[in-house]
């Protein structure tokens, strides 16, 4: 069997970059997707030199509704075995204060593009009876998030979608995993405006550790991977706390 080919969105930095390194170390060929072509080319060169794998660079902005189909069309000559839906972003602020287009773009990137790419490549995986989908969600998906309402809602969608999809493809040979990290030291904190929040000040994991645990969980066929004991406890505890308490607590942590 030839080496697997893995498509990774948001692969120019953070968790996506670290996942690319892990798949490359496992001798997977890569299709790297992100907005920055320069960063993608630099990563591609690094991984070719260190692991000798084949790499295709596809610079696309997933906020463009046409991007998923364009990505699929560009891979017609390859069999994509694994899709890693890592691209995503957030923004701190009330729904009424944040720019409308930024929130609509968030929905497009975090939910619509993820779903679109999954649907485009999943039939081939099922037909071949191998491969998988690794969706990068967040512990934000386990509760509502006043102050980041749209972001938290998108990650709840990712978690729910992944769990349901995993059950739908059970027995086909296809793995489906949601990696749900808590605060992580990437560019996300700065880009979203969360770097000074109490949530981040309580501690953030490093991206390499998060990626490694997600990678191992995916390889083992785990449906949900929450890295870190603190994050696991938080995701578990909200199941038993009153929803009104959870809302107020998250609002304070966002401050």
CB 159 within 8 A of CB 180: yes
SS3 state at 139: helix
Catalytic, 152? Answer: no
C-alpha angle with apex 164: 210 to 70, nearest 5 degrees? 75
Q: Among the residues of 110-242, which ranges form H helices? A: 114-128, 149-168, 188-192, 198-201, 207-219, 229-237
CB atoms < 10 A from the CB of 165, how many? 20
The encoded tokens of residue 55 equal 């790499």
Sign of torsion over alpha carbons 236, 177, 10, 110 = negative
Q: From CA 196, how far away is CA 70, in angstroms rounded?
A: 37
The encoded tokens of residue 205 equal 């994991």
CB atoms < 10 A from the CB of 201, how many? 12
Task: Say which of 151, 152, 161, 215 is annotated catalytic.
Answer: 151
SS3 state at 83: strand
The encoded tokens of residue 25 equal 């170390």
For 97, residues 6+ apart whose C-beta sits below 8 A from its C-beta are none
- As annotated, the active-site residues are 151
């Amino acid at each position: 069997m030839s080496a697997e080919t893995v498509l990774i969105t948001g692969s120019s930095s953070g968790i996506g970059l670290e996942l690319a390194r892990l798949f490359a170390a496992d001798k997977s060929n890569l299709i790297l997707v992100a907005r920055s072509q320069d960063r993608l080319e630099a990563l591609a060169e690094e991984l070719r030199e260190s692991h000798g794998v084949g790499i295709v660079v596809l610079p696309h902005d997933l906020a463009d509704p046409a991007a998923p189909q364009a990505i699929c069309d560009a891979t017609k000559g390859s069999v994509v075995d694994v899709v890693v839906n890592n691209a995503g972003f957030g923004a701190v602020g009330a729904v009424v204060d944040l720019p409308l287009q930024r929130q609509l773009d968030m929905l497009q990137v975090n939910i619509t593009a993820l779903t679109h790419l999954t649907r485009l490549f999943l039939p081939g995986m099922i037909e071949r009876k191998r491969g998988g989908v690794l969706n990068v969600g967040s512990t934000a998906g386990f509760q509502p998030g006043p102050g980041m309402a749209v972001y938290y809602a998108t990650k709840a969608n990712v978690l729910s979608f992944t769990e349901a999809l995993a059950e739908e493809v059970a027995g086909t040979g296809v793995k489906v995993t949601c990696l749900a990290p808590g605060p992580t030291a990437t560019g996300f904190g700065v880009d979203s405006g969360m770097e000074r929040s109490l949530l981040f000040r309580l501690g953030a994991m490093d991206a390499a550790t998060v990626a490694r645990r997600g990678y191992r969980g995916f390889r083992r066929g785990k449906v949900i991977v929450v890295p870190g004991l603190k994050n696991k406890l938080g995701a578990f505890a909200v199941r038993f706390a009153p929803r009104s308490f959870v809302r107020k607590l998250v609002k304070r942590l966002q401050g």
